């Protein structure tokens, strides 16, 4: 049974392979991209998994191919990367502190938004729930392939991991968003900049992001248990379990999807969307300062392959002279 799809490159040619739960990969004959296969499924009126299953070919040795992002677009401007925050429950102690602070009249904007999600993030079917925090990260050009470095710009305060699940979507010809599946990812943000002033959150999110190789098909399990690890050479400098899935969230996925796609500009036919659902686990919160050369390793139940990327210091200072034409 097909669990997920991956995009590969071998011998200079691209292809799509299907993975089962044991990690055995088989080529999907005739498919060169996930996007092309998804368009084919829409035309046939079948699911992505059914379309792939009907064209399974030879077994693929994953050690002999280059793994690509599970989704991309030939024109990166037509792929939007965004996300939502304050969506995960975190620890009971953390929730209790927020409630007490709110009751004492000391609630920050973050606390108030978190509590709004707790109270109204999982509405009844057909109802609209509380609006989550939303942020923009960039277009398809910011997505980093499996194993490739995540670059921390010279102007950044830091480059820290955010282990998350992302929803992957294609807008069909009638302007309707269609979820293709889910990917494990590293949303990668600048937490030092964000900490200076919460109004700098928008700046802190304008960084690259990495996706694990797999596009998991079907529905996401109610609870997803994973682990995020930072390695510095042969040393593990930080490692912690993280939880995702609706059972560990203050918002339903349907509510997060509604509040993203309610905007008409996000329903442009043919566009692809990668939308991160948030996390409650950060090494920054534990006082970890990442360094160039560190390797982020994110793995989770239901995904055979990890999202693994090294951190690299980029030379981009952000300085660009603007000339008058």
DSSP letter at 285 equals: G
Let me know the angle formed at the C-alpha of 5 by 282 and 73, rounded to the nearest 5 degrees.
Answer: 80
Q: What is the pLDDT of residue 100?
A: 64
Low-confidence ranges of the chain (pLDDT < 50): 91-92, 95, 98
Q: Do the beta carbons of residue 188 and residue 161 sit within 8 Å?
A: yes
Residue-wise pLDDT for 205-221, tens only, equals 999 999 999 999 999 99
Q: What is the pLDDT of residue 170?
A: 98
Measured CA distances, 75 to 20, 44, 181, 190, 265 (Å): 30, 24, 21, 27, 17
Structure tokens at 136: 């923009």
Structure tokens at 149: 């470095």
Residue-wise pLDDT for 233-259, tens only, equals 999 999 999 999 999 999 999 999 999
Q: What is the pLDDT of residue 89?
A: 87
Residue-wise pLDDT for 73-105, tens only, equals 999 999 999 999 989 987 445 545 545 666 666
Q: What is the pLDDT of residue 105?
A: 66
Q: Do the beta carbons of residue 204 and residue 158 sit within 8 Å?
A: no
Measured CA distances, 9 to 5, 33, 37, 64, 71 (Å): 14, 10, 16, 9, 13
Radius of gyration of the chain (CA): 20
């Amino acid at each position: 049974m097909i669990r997920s799809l991956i995009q590969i490159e071998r011998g200079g040619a691209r292809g799509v392979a299907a993975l089962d739960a044991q990690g055995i990969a088989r080529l999907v004959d005739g498919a060169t991209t996930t996007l092309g296969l998804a368009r084919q499924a829409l035309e046939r009126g079948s699911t992505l998994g059914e379309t792939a299953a009907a064209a399974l070919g030879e077994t693929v040795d994953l050690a002999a191919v280059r793994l690509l992002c599970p989704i991309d677009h030939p024109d990166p401007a037509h792929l939007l990367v965004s996300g939502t925050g304050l969506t995960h429950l975190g620890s009971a102690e953390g929730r209790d502190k927020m409630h007490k602070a709110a009751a004492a009249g000391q609630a920050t904007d973050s606390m108030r938004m978190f509590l709004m999600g707790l109270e109204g993030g999982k509405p009844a079917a057909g109802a609209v729930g509380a609006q989550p925090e939303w942020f923009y990260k960039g277009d398809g050009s910011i997505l980093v392939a499996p194993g490739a470095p995540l670059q921390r710009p010279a102007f950044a305060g830091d480059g820290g991991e955010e282990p998350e699940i992302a929803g992957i979507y294609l807008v069909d010809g009638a302007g309707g968003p269609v979820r293709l599946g889910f990917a494990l990812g590293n949303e990668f943000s600048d937490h030092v900049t964000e900490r200076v002033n919460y109004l700098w959150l928008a700046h802190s999110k304008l960084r690259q992001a990495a996706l694990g190789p797999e596009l998991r098909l079907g529905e996401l399990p109610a609870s997803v248990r994973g682990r995020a690890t930072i390695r510095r050479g042969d040393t593990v400098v930080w490692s912690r379990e993280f939880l995702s899935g609706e059972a560990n969230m203050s918002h339903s996925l349907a509510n997060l999807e509604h509040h993203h796609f309610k905007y008409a500009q996000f329903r442009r036919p043919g566009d692809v969307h990668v939308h991160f659902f948030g996390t409650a686990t950060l090494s920054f919160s534990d006082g970890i300062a990442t360094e160039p050369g560190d390797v982020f390793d994110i793995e989770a139940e239901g995904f055979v392959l990890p999202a693994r990327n090294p951190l690299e210091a980029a030379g981009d200072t952000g300085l660009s002279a603007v000339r008058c034409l």
